[in-house]
Chain A
Amino acid sequence: MNQFPHHLLSIDDLGPDGIGEVLRVADSFVEVGHRANPKVPALRGRTVATLFFEDSTRTRVSFETAAKRLSADVLSFAVGSSSVKKGESLRDTVETIEAMGIDAIIIRHPSSGAPTRVAGWVTNLSVINAGDGWHEHPTQALLDLYTVRQALGGGDEGMDRFKSLQVVIVGDIRHSRVARSQVAAYAALGAEVTLVAPPTLLPPSIDGWPIAAVSHDIDNELPSADVVSLLRLQSERGSGEFVPSLREYTTRFGLNGRRAAMLKPETLILHPGPMVRGVEIASEVADLPAAHITGQVSNGVAVRMAVLFLMLGQSPVQGSSNV
């Protein structure tokens, strides 16, 4: 493929070739993760900063683990204890970070488009979107694809099976950046995506989304699904106001034991986490062998290593001229 993009703001930055490249390189990092010393010197001398304006455990820890396993130095800007609290603007914070000679920032922000704005302000720094508002969370979608490809046989064979794969995404699509990245990523590889949600939890407009169908009835969609991807109700973004009650949502859209029995035996159940057992997924379903939820987490480190390596491993180290 051509040059890997300098920033990763949305899945569209990668295209099908870029996605394939990430998944292929991630295979090598899964192997690295199985070693007694799961660390390689590939990004020695690089510095990566995480800048999270929103709570996160798994994404932040996953990115920091990935960067450390590549031997990059990692700085973690906790917004609560930084100058942001004193009223510094996002632009000034980012310019300060860039002036320190940092190679990449991994940013999570409650406002859609914040990482794109940041990418416009910086010159050398690479920007990785770790979730912005309702917009995108590209690395989450990439690790979902990796998990699916692995379950479909891995390698090029697994890659080919995305064509015509039936993917059902269930839940709060309106508020979900993960859903937007998933739809773009699955569609890029030729899968057919069906969105399942109550009308109130669909986005205000889905014109132009590369999806096959929208449904309000989960029971109709499950028997033909190859992948069922569940989303959490985002109460911090007010999802609760869009459904009459959590109990009604669970009854109509939750993946319970009865619904799991309607799935084909080889169907995969995915959840980007954090999952709320008893709401979108019943506890006994989350523990089924078909649920690849912890597999997703361990693949996340390898996929993020691949993204960091492809992004930073190809360009000269800043300020080094005698190499």
Chain B
Amino acid sequence: MAERERSHTRPRGAVFVPRAQVMSAADVHRAITRMSHEIAERNRGLEHLVLIGLQTGGVPIAERLAASLETVESTTIPVGILDVAFYRDDIGLRPVLPEAVTDISFDLTGATVVLVDDVLFTGRTIRAALNAVSEYGRAQAVQLAVMVDRGHRELPIRPDYVGKNLPTRRDEMVDVTEDGVALGDVVGR
């Protein structure tokens, strides 16, 4: 979600200025390994398990989780890509544009879906993703994995797998990249 917001604010001259490095690249790697073990523990055998990364920040994390699960349980986990732009409830409040094309090439009926995002904030992206996912079949269960839970929920949504709980101010910005997780501000808006 942070990624998504950032790419919309950038063209208007806003930039992300990091203040503190919260997780290093190695920390993110360890968190991914731990989360994949938690996913494997909770969904024994990983049968019918699929990962769906949310555009754009969730996609690389979903791919890394799938790679890690493959070493943990020696099974290949399908990974889908979902863009929730058309399901958001803040259409009309701020610019909401699709970042990339959704790619879910498998039926989700009966599957256990793990939604993957980089940052969990208000929960509105996940609300939209739940609606979007239901268009691809009736999943047996939907779980949520996020690298950072930064609080400030506006909806009754709770993650199942968390890389790091990170208390933040509402106006701060969390940036998740390959190099780790940084906390900072959006300047110049």
A314 at interface by CB-CB < 8 Å: yes
Q: What is the CA–CA distance of A88 and B9 in the complex, to the nearest angstrom?
A: 46
Closest to A30 in B: B101
Residue numbers in B under 8 Å from A36 (CB-CB): 135
B98 pairs with A28, CB closer than 8 A: yes
Closest to A3 in B: B95
Residue numbers in A under 8 Å from B85 (CB-CB): 28, 42
| 26-68 of chain A: CB within 8 A of chain B | 27-28, 30-32, 35-37, 40-43
Residue numbers in B under 8 Å from A316 (CB-CB): 92-93
Closest to A309 in B: B86
Residue numbers in A under 8 Å from B96 (CB-CB): 313-314
B93 pairs with A31, CB closer than 8 A: no
A32 shortest CB reach to chain B, Å: 7
Closest to A317 in B: B92
Q: A35-B136, A37-B135 are in contact. Are A323 and B93 (CB under 8 A)?
A: yes
A315 at interface by CB-CB < 8 Å: yes
B92 pairs with A323, CB closer than 8 A: yes
Residue numbers in B under 8 Å from A70 (CB-CB): 86
A27, A35, A37, A41: the one contacting B101 at CB < 8 Å is A27
Q: Interface on chain A toward B: helix, strand, loop, or mixed SS?
A: loop
| 272-323 of chain A: CB within 8 A of chain B | 309-310, 313-317, 323
Q: A31-B101, A31-B102, A31-B103 are in contact. Are A40 and B87 (CB under 8 A)?
A: yes
B141 at interface by CB-CB < 8 Å: no
| 115-146 of chain B: CB within 8 A of chain A | 131, 135-136
B155 at interface by CB-CB < 8 Å: no
Residue numbers in A under 8 Å from B131 (CB-CB): 41
Closest to A305 in B: B86
| 63-97 of chain B: CB within 8 A of chain A | 83, 85-87, 91-93, 95-97
B: contact size bracket = 10 to 19
Q: What is the CA–CA distance of A35 and B100 in the complex, to the nearest angstrom?
A: 16
Q: What is the CA–CA distance of A158 and B171 in the complex, to the nearest angstrom?
A: 39
A28 pairs with B83, CB closer than 8 A: yes
B91, B100, B102, B103: the one contacting A42 at CB < 8 Å is B91
Closest to B87 in A: A41
A25 at interface by CB-CB < 8 Å: yes
Q: What is the CA–CA distance of A31 and B100 in the complex, to the nearest angstrom?
A: 11
Closest to B84 in A: A40
Residue numbers in B under 8 Å from A27 (CB-CB): 101
Residue numbers in B under 8 Å from A314 (CB-CB): 92, 95-96
Closest to A40 in B: B86
- 21 example contacts (A-B, Cβ-Cβ < 8 A) are as follows A1-B11, A25-B97, A28-B83, A28-B98, A28-B101, A30-B101, A31-B101, A31-B103, A32-B102, A35-B136, A37-B135, A40-B86, A40-B87, A41-B86, A41-B87, A70-B86, A309-B86, A310-B97, A316-B92, A317-B92, A323-B93
- Top 9 A-B residue pairs of the complex, sorted by shortest distance between their CB atoms: A40-B86, A42-B86, A28-B98, A316-B92, A31-B101, A27-B101, A313-B91, A31-B102, A28-B101
